[in-house]
Structure 1
Amino acid sequence: MVETPNPLLQGDKLTRRFGGVVALSDYSLTLGEGDLLGLIGPNGAGKTTAFNLLSGVLPPSAGSITLAGRNLTGERPEVFARSGIARTFQNIRLFRDLSAWENVAAGYHMRHGANWLSTILGLPAARTSERRMRDKACSLMETVGLADFIDQRAGDMPYGHQRKLEIARALATEPRLLLLDEPAAGMNATETEELKRTIKSIHEELGLTLVLVEHDMRFVMSLCRRVQVVNRGELIADGTPEEVQATPAVAEAYLGKGRGKKVA
């Protein structure tokens, strides 16, 4: 495991069992502020399970999770979110009948929404809050390259734009750590390049710590500073893209024993 002084996130020996099946075993992850990590592995390797543990969707069977020194182990997903961990999902989960900006504003409600009484009564505080959230939502949509789609119905947007809209909504929760679950899934080559530029911009301009799960090896290796590889529920490599690609266990996991050392 990579040593990181004063880590933002610490996952220590995380294990998740489903009955007699061990989906993830003794998985550890340490992230510092501003890290950009790719988590890869063959189908069924345990990547999604790791994400579900790190976002509170699933509790670990063993191990611990801390964010900035706060122990989140076993807490509900909303506690993870309020503590500063946001995520997207492999299957897009937008409010399809709402406009693009309304989807993003939904993320702001967690921290900046008016109270329920002001909203029900239509008080000035609620109207002011809504205008403020629209302005912030529009600013975030510009950040991810969606400035021309602010009022469009989310369900009518092109697939690649829906992916970026989900990222904008996650950013609206004002996270310290953003988890992206297969953000390039289903995209063509042009959309993938646009998404890569968007993620780079988010990382550099907002200074966020990012972790992404992705099957596109070229996408991961060209974007991430550090890569972890899991296989059969176990961490088998952790290092720079060059170090990971030269690891025999990684080549074996992807290509079969004796098939070579390059995986991307």
Structure 2
Amino acid sequence: MNANDFKNRLVEFLSADERILGIAQTGDMNAPLIPGKSDIDMFVLCTDVPSKTEREEMYRKFSAEYESLQMEVCGGGIWGYGDIFMCGGIDVMPMYFTVEEMQGYLEEVLDGKHLEKEGRFYPIGRLASIESINILFERNETWSKIVALVKSHPESLFKKWYESECWKMIDEEDLGRAELRHEVLFYHQVVEEFLDHFLQALYAKNGCYFPSRKRTEKAIAGFKMKPADCYERLLKIVQLASKEETIEVSVAELRKLGNELKEI
């Protein structure tokens, strides 16, 4: 059984449980699935999350249809209770949340209460995932209502987020050290911090949730509020950062680009 067929079988099976109110898949459903490199992630909304023992019992009924299973690779929190099936070399991962915790967390993010990254996770990235999520099953429009909530795009969130990222975008102390020392690896860290804050500020300025750096070039091309030649200049900053003798030029361009965004 291929991974998509198994996913459909899993959705059919899980949707028979009255505790499960909605199942949705993140990402591009038309993207090619490459064994060892692709995965299928699903958010499963429940009144109450079935326990690990209950889920194991459920999965056992169709164990011949997948190659392996890792139970509870994440045990609650921002990634829910997640199990990973291996099917045809593709990870298929349902992540279970209660409707209450999913909606409550999203409301807090929309209210600007989670602007900082949590490790490598962007809370606002969760909004991006939900906004474009593919609904596979729902009762009583459970997923549809949550998607509509996320699509409200509150102006207050984008204003607060933009101001927060602009304030952190240019670290003059570290830029001064980079100009003085000409240390490539140190300056790369400075550039990395700048890119993270610059991109978030840019997305916020354009009223767009920041998912990750994937497909950044396409996103920037579609933005109306941006410095001229924005993407090309970001690449130039990175390229000039790779040699000691061009670090000062990179720093100058970094400052200029960051300040142009602030002035828009």
Tell me the TM-score normalized by structure 1: 0.25
Normalized per residue, which structure has more strand? 1
- Structure number with greater CO (CA < 8 Å, separation at least 6) is 1
Structure number having the greater helix percentage:
2
